[in-house]
Chains A and B, each alone.
Chain A
């Protein structure tokens, strides 16, 4: 049953709209976590921490990945499929690299005594960064699916909606990461 195609007068595709509402919902979750963080920080027994170097590298990586994904979507719209494929693959590699760098960051933290079960401030750092990483992994899975489709000989795609959905989500987790980093940097 094709329910979406029956609607002609939309300005925004329903699936894109759904994604935007979902983004609002995810934001509420992080709003919950970060406000819990602020409440907790104003109480006794809070130990501040330094943000590990790997997190800074990962920031550069995810920014770059957003850029490649942007170019990739542009290539798709221009039907430059070869360019689209390689840029999509590059984004995927960068996405995976981001996750690896996050893990390295956690290792770095553990080494200097900032452990998950240490002070409650450390637990918050792990949980906030970790839950963001889970959302990035969701994006990476979407990128894997897109790349597989892009390199498949059998599937021909003309609609730009899937590419745009993945782009929107990926830029969102990117911006969310920047926000969280700034948040953790200034309020620690």
Chain B
């Protein structure tokens, strides 16, 4: 039944809800797999699209790592499929920048935003709060298709003559505003901006739905404080997205006008390609403010879902209640607020007023407090737990490890005085790749391994999963740990070739090592991709409704739930989601009423 119909009969249809699921027997291939309005199918669409994007984005990094690791060698096979961008088997500098830019854009937005919250918010919110679907399945479907359209446009920019955007994923003007300034600032940049605008629309449509569903559509008894932490995390993620993406959109629109209509929002006093431009009165720093006002919340948009899923998976597989549930919620709330107040720590060296800088230092370092609370709670959750080392659990533990090691370097970078030395070096690269990139990827993998049985009714292969885990975690540290040393030695990011620099020649061996490990880790991810698609059809079938012995509502649905999730009434919730090892019982699902002889948590 369509949303339009539901608008009209909302008042008349309250008496016989239980029969609604019998209405949808006219599913065609198109309505079931393509233009689906079922949140579970939309989640899978996001996940598969995200995986494809992750392969593309990861491959980009392998290609530019070839240049960084082996600057004096040529790779003729690159010319075969990159053409004039790798003339004679050597990457052209312009295309190297394009690869770096697209690697960042693809992974930050298309994989770790859409692929991560798109997948798990869609999949888990209705299942875990006890709703038949999202508040507006129609908007939800549009959210995916806007994302798809954004993907098509972003991919198409790889095939234009002048190449994709190459001004870095932060696309600072004036470089990104002037077609004469770089090859990638020609049509590739316009495609980037249009693709991102559509992406923002997709995120907003998704976010609206997530917030409304969580606040409005919870089942009977599911009070806010009984919600699993995954839902809390996805809720804060959506709030961050809804409040910060519009600001990026306004920044992007102004940039589009500067590029194409001759305005001067970001441009002033510029001499490029032998010409003096007429633009006057603009401010390039203005763009950075608008960009980072989104850009900083964005890192929490990426990280929070991983935090939520790790919390849930750690608790389930330790067979212990989560430690400090309210502290977890409170610290996520604190992170959410602080996320909006720290953007200028990306701009310490732009000529920012040092006094203002010190305020941002304080606010930035404050984030360490909720982060430390969360880490403490994760560690105390698994402390003396009856741990089952499922692949999901391993990745969740790996997430905590990476969050600690990446988070600590954030304290270095958050100091404006240290930042004078460290900004734009490999230290920054190491920091954000560990804490935001790899950590969130681990959260995502944990989620995929944990909820795959619910998504497809089959298990992933465990042996492949363990190989995947160990190669990835050891590899991630081997790639990014040495980068800290390079950064402390002052090696700048975004350089094409370090062998020309006396100061950085000594890192040639280290760079080669990093590149080699990066290739091995990339290959291990292909193992995961194989496992994913193979197990989708050929994996071991799930035989029990609740394979992990978890308390949350999604495991009360049939093994392969249809549209509407529960065949009968939506179950009622009587307790919080973390009654593990309580009163001599291993686990007590949320649907079990609180007995006379037990106290409510």
Contacts and interface: CB of A to CB of B under 8 A. Distances in A.
B463 interface: no
Given A3-B6, A14-B212, A36-B254, A158 B247 contact: no
Interface stretch (A58-66, A99-107, A119-127, A171-179): A119-127
A28 B246 contact: yes
A110 B18 CA distance: 61
B324 interface: no
Contacts of B215: 17
A42 to B, nearest CB: 10
Contacts of A159: 7-11
Interface in B236-294: 242-247, 249-251, 253-254, 257, 261-265, 268, 280-283, 286, 289-290, 293
B251 A32 contact: yes
Contact of A32 (B137, B139, B290): B290
Interface string A64-90: 000000000000000000000000000
A14 B261 contact: no
Given A17-B216, A45-B281, A2 B246 contact: no
A43 interface: yes
A21 B37 contact: no
Contacts of B204: 22, 25
Interface in B13-37: 13-14, 17, 20-21, 23-24, 37
Interface in A1-59: 1-10, 12-15, 17-18, 21-22, 24-26, 28-33, 36, 39-40, 43-46
Interface residues of B, number: 67
Given A2-B9, A32-B251, A22 B217 contact: no
B208 A22 contact: yes
B391 interface: no
B134 A3 contact: yes
A158 B289 contact: no
A161 B216 CA distance: 16
Nearest to A7: B217
A31 B243 CA distance: 10
B137 A3 contact: yes
A15 B135 contact: yes
Nearest to B242: A25
A152 to B, nearest CB: 13
Interface string B313-344: 00000000000000000000000000000000
Interface string B202-217: 0010011101110111
Nearest to A27: B246
A157 interface: yes
Contacts of A33: 250
Contacts of A8: 14
B3 to A, nearest CB: 8
A2 B264 contact: no
A157 B264 contact: no
B263 A116 contact: yes
A25 B209 CA distance: 13
B250 A18 contact: no
A108 B320 CA distance: 70
Interface in B285-306: 286, 289-290, 293
B247 A21 contact: no
A117 interface: yes
Chain A CB count within 10 A is highest, among B10, B11, B257, B280, for: B10
Chain B CB count within 10 A is highest, among A6, A39, A157, A161, for: A6
A30 B286 CA distance: 15
Interface of A: 1-10, 12-15, 17-18, 21-22, 24-26, 28-33, 36, 39-40, 43-46, 116-117, 119-120, 123-124, 127, 131, 157-159, 161-162
11 contacts: A1-B1, A2-B20, A3-B217, A4-B10, A6-B132, A9-B220, A12-B216, A21-B242, A25-B242, A32-B246, A40-B283
CB-CB nearest 6 A-B residue pairs: A29-B246, A32-B247, A45-B281, A14-B135, A5-B13, A3-B133
Given A4-B135, A158-B12, 9 more contacts: A1-B23, A3-B132, A3-B137, A5-B17, A7-B216, A10-B216, A17-B216, A28-B246, A117-B262
